[in-house]
């Protein structure tokens, strides 16, 4: 008997990141030299006192029992205060209207936001390159995406005119992800200021601000946000954050969402029936973690990212690849535009061939050079690819030399 799957899941695409990662792992197991540049996580241990905190909670019965659906009350308070302090929110009026829900990772809360706001036919504006899971989630809930493209030529910042064009009377929400996966940059304060005044023209538009990489900024300036220019906008802003990236804890599955109380209350009902409260052991140990220490913990991580971004710069400079080089400053990725390199001519059939070859190029780079990258098409940007800046320096240098050589067509 063949199982008849729901329409909802039949249209889902397999995560390319996971697929490529699995192939790279398989090749390495076969003894082939593989440079795995697909990682979406830091190869660092979480802070020692967080690990100690987990150990310290192991003796308590409560650490193994259901946690409150929206999260431990004191931890929700801690995360809210961390948000207000780190983003320097001045006005106290929103603090009364705002609430926070803890879920099983950033992905879980993003999904529950879409589930709570998107009806069949509603539209969501995404900025490409975008995080691979946004479009899939919007589709699951019957929504439709309208994509605004960016490129290296505009520093991956979307033009407000393009956003205006993408908005229709069905648009419910726009998603902003700064610092950004997969570009490794964040929007300038100037852009955020312009976006804040732009939003005044669309009083019903909700904004999801995915700030999961907020702390991972290794060159100035620090990331800023549109609502810091006009705190009134917080009323319709949905903030996403968590510990996956800033505490190198992707496997502990703790993420949170801050938004208007009404939305958080509906997300809590949904979570109560679909997942219950997030991991109680981790929540209890996080209660003892001092969030002021995040930036100290991240110092060596940032230094590593600075070094690898320099290695990439040197390799690209040596091979005269300035057309596809830009300075990354945050998160831990770099986004290559193959169309700015000689490699592209091996694939394109003619000058005006607009087809996407990123999957083919990445498959060949893996097969022929052992370089595992994620094809740009998964992020909505054809003929590009994402690489991760996290591998150890020596192997990263070897990988960048090989990559730079391949990009020049050798
Ligand atoms: C932009 C962005 N948002 C959200 C997430 C979700 O993070 P997690 O579910 O691991 O907390 C990720 C993870 O890669 C991400 O890159």
Question: Could you report the per-residue pLDDT of 295-338, keeping only the tens digit for each?
Answer: 999 999 999 999 999 999 999 999 999 999 999 999 999 999 99
Options 3.60.15.10, 3.90.1150.10, 3.40.1370.10, 1.10.3720.10; CATH for 7-45+295-407 is: 3.90.1150.10
Token pair in block for residue 307: 């070094």
Indicate whether residue 179 lines ligand 1 (CB < 6 A): no
Alpha carbon separation from 83 to 78, 95, 220 (Å, rounded): 9, 11, 20
Mean pLDDT of 116-144: 96
Where do the structural domains in the chain lie, given as residue ranges?
A: 7-45+295-407, 48-293
Token pair 């000689």: residue:
342
131 alpha carbon – ligand 1 mean position (Å): 8
Q: What is the pTM of this model?
A: 0.96
Distance between CA atoms of residues 376 and 339, nearest Å: 12
Mean pLDDT of 205-214: 98
3-state SS assignment for residue 32: coil
Distance between CA atoms of residues 186 and 213, nearest Å: 10
Mean residue pLDDT of the chain comes to 94
Scored b (16 or more CB within 10 A) or e, 200-215 reads: eeeeebbbbbbbbbbb
Indicate whether residue 180 lines ligand 1 (CB < 6 A): no
User: Would you call 229 exposed, middle or buried from its count of C-beta atoms within 10 A (0-12, 13-18, 19+)?
Assistant: middle
Distance between CA atoms of residues 33 and 27, nearest Å: 8
Distance between CA atoms of residues 376 and 24, nearest Å: 17
pLDDT, residue 300, reads 97
Indicate whether residue 131 lines ligand 1 (CB < 6 A): yes
pLDDT, residue 19, reads 76
Token pair in block for residue 114: 């879409």
212 alpha carbon – ligand 1 mean position (Å): 6
Indicate whether residue 186 lines ligand 1 (CB < 6 A): no
Higher pLDDT, 100 or 25: 100
Give the nearest ligand 1 atom to 180 CA.
1
Token pair in block for residue 57: 């909670």
pLDDT, residue 97, reads 87
What's the CATH fold of domain 48-293? 3.40.640
| pLDDT band (50, 70, 90) for residue 277 | very high
Indicate whether residue 277 lines ligand 1 (CB < 6 A): no
7-45+295-407 and 48-293 share one fold: no
pLDDT of 21 > 80? The answer is no
pLDDT of 14 > 90? The answer is no
27 alpha carbon – ligand 1 mean position (Å): 26
**How many CB atoms neighbour CB 300 within 10 A?**
10
Indicate whether residue 395 lines ligand 1 (CB < 6 A): no
Alpha carbon separation from 401 to 311, 315, 397 (Å, rounded): 9, 6, 6
Strand partners, 210: 177, 240
pLDDT of 285 > 80? The answer is yes
Query: Which of 152, 225, 219 is CA-nearest to residue 195?
Result: 225
């Amino acid at each position: 008997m063949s199982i008849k799957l729901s329409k909802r899941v039949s249209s889902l695409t397999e995560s390319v990141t996971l697929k490529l990662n699995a192939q790279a792992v398989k090749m390495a197991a076969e003894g082939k030299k593989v440079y795995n540049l697909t990682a979406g996580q830091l190869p660092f241990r979480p802070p020692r006192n967080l690990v100690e905190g987990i150990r310290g909670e192991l003796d308590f019965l409560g650490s193994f029992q259901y946690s409150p659906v929206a999260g431990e009350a004191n931890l929700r308070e801690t995360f809210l205060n961390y948000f207000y302090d780190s983003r320097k929110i001045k006005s106290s009026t929103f603090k009364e209207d705002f609430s926070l829900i803890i879920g099983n990772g950033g992905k879980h809360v993003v999904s529950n936001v879409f589930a709570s706001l998107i009806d069949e036919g509603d539209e969501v504006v995404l900025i490409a390159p975008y995080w691979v899971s946004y479009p899939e989630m919007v589709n699951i809930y019957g929504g439709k995406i309208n994509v605004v493209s960016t490129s290296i030529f505009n520093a991956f910042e979307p033009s407000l005119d393009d956003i205006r064009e993408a908005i229709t009377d069905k648009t419910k929400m726009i998603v902003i992800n700064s610092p950004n996966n997969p570009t490794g940059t964040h929007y300038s304060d100037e852009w955020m200021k312009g976006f804040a005044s732009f939003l005044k023209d669309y009083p019903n538009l909700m904004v999801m601000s995915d700030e999961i990489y907020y702390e991972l900024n290794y060159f100035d300036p620090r990331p800023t946000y549109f609502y810091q220019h006009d705190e009134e906008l917080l009323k319709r802003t949905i903030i996403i954050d968590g510990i996956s990236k800033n505490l190198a804890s992707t496997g502990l599955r703790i993420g949170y969402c801050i938004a208007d109380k009404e939305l958080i209350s509906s997300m809590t009902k949904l979570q109560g029936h679909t997942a219950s409260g997030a991991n109680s052991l981790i929540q209890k140990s996080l209660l003892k973690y001092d969030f002021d220490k995040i930036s100290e913990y991240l110092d060596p991580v940032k230094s590593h990212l600075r070094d690898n971004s320099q290695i990439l710069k040197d390799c690209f400079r040596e091979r005269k690849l300035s057309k596809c080089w830009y300075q990354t400053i945050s998160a831990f990725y770099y986004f290559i535009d193959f169309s700015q390199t000689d490699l592209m001519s091996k694939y394109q059939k003619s000058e005006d061939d607009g087809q996407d070859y990123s999957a083919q190029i990445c498959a060949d780079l893996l097969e022929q050079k052992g370089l595992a990258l994620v094809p740009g098409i998964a992020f909505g940007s054809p003929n590009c690819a994402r690489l991760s800046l996290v591998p150890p320096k020596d192997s990263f240098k070897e990988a960048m030399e090989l990559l730079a050589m391949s990009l020049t067509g050798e």
